[in-house]
Amino acid sequence: MLLASAVVVWEWLNEHGRWRPYSPAVSHHIEAVVRAGPRAGGSVVLGQVDSRLAPYIIDLQSMNQFRQDTGTLRPVRRNYYDPSSAPGKGVVWEWENDNGSWTPYDMEVGITIQHAYEKQHPWIDLTSIGFSYVIDFNTMGQINRQTQRQRRVRRRLDLIYPMVTGTLPKTQSWPVSPGPATSPPMSPCSCPQCVLVMSVKAAVVNGSTGPLQPPVTRKNMPPPGVVKLPPPPGSGAKPLDSTGTIRGPLKTAPSQVIRRQASSMPTGTTVGSPASPPGPNGKTGRVALATLNRSNLQRLAIAQSRVLIASGVPTVPVKNLNGSSPVNPALAGITGILMSAAGLPVCLTRPPKLVLHPPPVSKSEIKSIPGVSNTSRKTTKKQAKKGKTPEEVLKKYLQKVRHPPDEDCTICMERLTAPSGYKGPQPTVKPDLVGKLSRCGHIYHIYCLVAMYNNGNKDGSLQCPTCKTIYGVKTGTQPPGKMEYHLIPHSLPGHPDCKTIRIIYSIPPGIQGPEHPNPGKSFSARGFPRHCYLPDSEKGRKVLKLLLVAWDRRLIFAIGTSSTTGESDTVIWNEVHHKTEFGSNLTGHGYPDANYLDNVLAELAAQGISEDSTAQEKD
C-alpha cells in the first residue's frame, strides 16, 4: 500500500502491447462506477459517456474490456500518475494522423513531452523512452528520426483526470475488500442468463466420461476475486499477447478463428488470463472467457442485453458446427459467452485488419504503365478564358423560344410566359427572354441561365440544372498539385490476375483564389500524399486515362468542408470516388468491389468526361 495523492487514468492494452489512455471524461465515468461499489453492478458501459465507444463494456471484476460486436477482450488497468504531471493539469498532447484527425500520445509519452515543454526546452528526443521521434516545440512538429517524415503535434487542455488521496493499492480489484475475511457463499442467481449458464455447465459436467481434473495451479497467482494490474511497459515484464481475442482451451486454427471443443481439455483446467504470469515459453497467456467466473459472465451478458440490442453496431457472424449467419450483435455476444462457458463448439471471428498500403516496393519494381505517357503530371491554376461575356458563351448552347410553353422555369420557379423571378445582380438581357438548350431541350429564362453561369466557375461551360447535361468543357477549382501513377508488382483483392496501378496525389496547403469559397483565406490539405489503387486491367487503365483528364480539368478535388472531420476551408474529394485501401474493404474504399470501375466511369461521365474526352485533350 502506498500513501500518496495521485490522478487516476484508466487505460487499455492495444494490439502493440501499449497502454492507451481513455479520455478524462471516460475515466471519470469508470471511476464513478468503481466508487459506487457493488450496487453499480460491476460493469461499465462506455457508450453512456462517449457514443463512439458504444460497443464496449468494462468488467471490473476481471479488469477486461469486452467488445460486444466482435467478442474481443482486452485488459484494462487503473493507473496512477503524479498530480503535477500532464493528466493532473488536464494537458493532452496529440499528433495528427493521415486522416487529418488527432490522436493522443500514450500517457507516459505525453507526460515526458509536457515536462520538457514546461522546462522551455526547444525540443525533446523520445528515443530514451523507446520512440524514434523528436518533438520540436518551435514548429510544433514530430520528426521521425529514421525517415525524417514530419507530422503536426498540438497541446490542448481537457478535463483533469479524477484525483485520489490517501492509501493507494499497488494492484486494484473490485470491489476493494476491507480485509482478508472470506464472505459467505453467494446464493444462486435466478436471472435467465445465470440459469442458462449454470444448467448448461451442469449438463456438460454430468455428461462427461472421465473424472474431473483439478485446476492447474500457478505460482504467484492472486487469490480469488483479486485481479492484478499488468505491469506498465518497460518494467521488465513482457506485454500480454496482443490479439486480445476470446479464446477457449484449444489452439488457434490457421484461419485465426477461435474454436472451443468440449472434449479438447478436461473440465476445470484453467488457461492464461490477464493476471497469469508468463508460461514456460516466455509468453503470457491470452485473455480467455474460460477464466471468467459465473458472476463475470452474468455481468457481461446482462450489460449487453440491457444496452446493446439497439446500439446500431453492425452484425457479426457467429459460427457453429452447422454454419453461420449474421445476428444481432447483442445476441452474438451473449451466445458466445454462454456457449463458451459451457464448453460448446462456438467461435467469434476476429475483427478484420485494415490494410491501407501494399507491401514495400523498391524503386526498381516500380514500372510505367503501358499505353499511358509519363508517370506524373502537375496542374496549376487555370483562369477562365477572357474576352467572352456570359451572354456570348450561352449563345452557343441556346435556341431562342418565341412562344414559350405555359410551364415553370425550374431555376426561378416563375412561369416561362412571365418575366424571370431572379432578384440577384442584373444580367444585361431582358428578363422575359426564353431559350432552349440545344442538346437536351430543356427550356429556361435566358436571364436565369446567365445568373446561374455568373455564380459558377465561369469557365465557358454550362450544365443543365435539370438533367445535368454538360455543354462545353467543364472544369473545377482544384488547387495546384501533382498526380503520380505507376505499376507495382502486387495484386488487389478480387483481381489476382493483374498487377496494381498506384496513384499518388500531392496537394500542399495554400491561399484560396477568386474561384474558391473564401478568396484570400488559407486552406488546409490533410492526409496528403493520398494513395489510391486501380487494377492493371483493360478497364482499370481506361479509368486511369479518364482520371488524368479529370485531374487536368481540376475536377478530382475541391475546397470545402470535410464530411469526415467537419473542418472547413480544406481540400476534399469532388464526387469522383477513389479506392484508398489496398488490401481490405473495411471502410468501403477498398477491394474487392465488383462494381467500382463501372461506378467511377459513371461518376466521370457525370463530370463530362468520357472516352471522347481523351481525344479532345490531345487536340
Using the predicted structure, report yes or no on whether residue 160 has a pLDDT greater than 80.
yes
Predicted pLDDT at 536: 96
Q: Mention the CATH class of domain 390-458.
A: alpha beta
Task: Over range 98-108, report the average pLDDT.
Answer: 87
Query: Using N-to-C axis directions, what is the helix angle for 611-618 and 538-552, rounded to 10°?
Result: 50
The ranges of the chain annotated as CATH 3.30.720.50 are 1-86+161-168, 91-157
Task: Over range 332-350, report the average pLDDT.
Answer: 54
Cβ neighbours of residue 39 closer than 8 Å, sequence gap 6 or more = none
Q: Mention the CATH class of domain 1-86+161-168.
A: alpha beta
Using the predicted structure, report yes or no on whether residue 255 has a pLDDT greater than 80.
no
Task: Look at the domain 91-157 and name its fold.
Answer: 3.30.720
Predicted pLDDT at 430: 84
Predicted pLDDT at 149: 84
Grid-cell match 483439478, residue found? 214
Using the predicted structure, report yes or no on whether residue 535 has a pLDDT greater than 70.
yes
Cβ neighbours of residue 331 closer than 8 Å, sequence gap 6 or more = 309
Identity of the highest mean pLDDT range in 234-248, 250-264, 333-347, 467-481: 467-481
The torsion of the CA quartet 591, 594, 600, 605, rounded to 10 degrees, works out to 170
Given CATH 3.30.390.130, say whether it is the number of domain 481-616. yes
Task: Over range 281-291, report the average pLDDT.
Answer: 44
Least Cα distance to 471 among 460, 485, 480 occurs for 460
pLDDT grade for 212, boundaries at 50, 70 and 90: very low
pLDDT grade for 412, boundaries at 50, 70 and 90: confident
Task: Over range 65-69, report the average pLDDT.
Answer: 77
Q: What value, to the nearest 5°, has the Cα angle with vertex 380 and ends 376 and 382? A: 135
DSSP state of 22: P
pLDDT grade for 480, boundaries at 50, 70 and 90: very high
The ranges of the chain annotated as CATH 3.30.40.10 are 390-458
Answer with the residue of higher pLDDT: 338 or 401: 401
Q: Considering only CA atoms, give the Rg of the chain.
A: 31
Using the predicted structure, report yes or no on whether residue 73 has a pLDDT greater than 90.
no
User: Among 123-132, 202-211, 346-355, 485-494, which is the least confidently predicted range?
Assistant: 202-211
The ranges of the chain annotated as CATH 3.30.390.130 are 481-616
